Structure 1
Amino acid sequence: MMKSGDLLRTLSLWLGLGLVMTALSQTTTPEEITNDGMAAFGKMIPQGFVNADIQVPSFQNGQPSSLLTAATVTRLDDDRLSAENVVVEIYGQTPAENMRVDLKSAIYNMTEKVLRSGERSRVSRADFEMEGDSMVFNSATSVSSMKGRVRTLIFDTDTVSGQSKDNQPTN
Structure 2
Amino acid sequence: MTLPHFADVPPHGARLRVPAAPLEIERQRLRSLERSGLVDTGDEERFDRLTRRAQAHFGVTAAVISLIARDHQYLKSVVGPVPRTIRREDAFCNITIQGEEPLVVPDLREDRRFQESPLVVGAPFIRFYAGVPLRGPGGWFIGSMCILDTEPRDLSSTDQVHLRRLADEAELEVNAPV
- Specify if TM > 0.5: no
Name the structure, 1 or 2, with higher relative contact order (CA <8 Å, separation 6+): 2
- Give the alignment's TM-score, normalised by structure 2: 0.27
What is the TM-score of this pair, normalised by structure 1? 0.28
Greater strand share, structure number: 1
Which structure is larger by alpha-carbon Rg, 1 or 2?
Answer: 2
